[in-house]
Amino acid sequence: TREIVGSVRGVEETVVERLVNRYRQIIREQNQQLRRQNEELIAVNALLEESNAELQAFSYTVAHDIKSPVGAITLSADLLVHQSHQDKPNTEKLRRDSLRIATTSQHVADIVDELLLLANVNQAKVDLKPVNMAPVIQRATQRIERMV
């Protein structure tokens, strides 16, 4: 019976050892998987931070692109209101100011249209084709001339 008890204990110890070793292996594998997932999360987080930084820079630029023409519209409209209340309004000046409001309003509308187009670029299929850059350069030149 001592031999049987010793054999049973030996079998129990072997079974327990195998279970412990198996659980250790499972834990190592789970730890490796967690490390991989953590590395993936770090990489995705870095991409998100970069994307957020780009979005912030973009929104800052857009805000400034829109702020200037909106300020010009507001100022021109205020001037029109003031001039229209004068005893003898200068119709030529009223016409020029009205034209400036219309032009600047169209500029803001163009910026908004470009933003909407840009927002849809990621969703649309892009067909590559040659582009006539002359109108693009002309618009850019006109924008720069207005700033100077």
**Confidence band, pLDDT 50/70/90 cuts, at residue 126:** low
In tens, the pLDDT along 54-95 reads 878 887 788 778 888 888 888 888 888 887 777 777 788 877
Q: What is the pTM of this model?
A: 0.46
- Enter the tokens of residue 91: 């119709």
What's the Rg (C-alpha) of the chain?
36
Nearest to 112 by CA among 62, 52, 76: 62
In tens, the pLDDT along 23-54 reads 999 999 999 999 999 999 999 999 989 988 88
User: For residue 86, what is the DSSP state?
Assistant: S
Nearest to 83 by CA among 100, 105, 98, 104: 98
Under a CB-based contact definition with an 8 Å cutoff, are residues 100 and 142 in contact?
A: no
Distance, CA of 64 to chain centre: 16
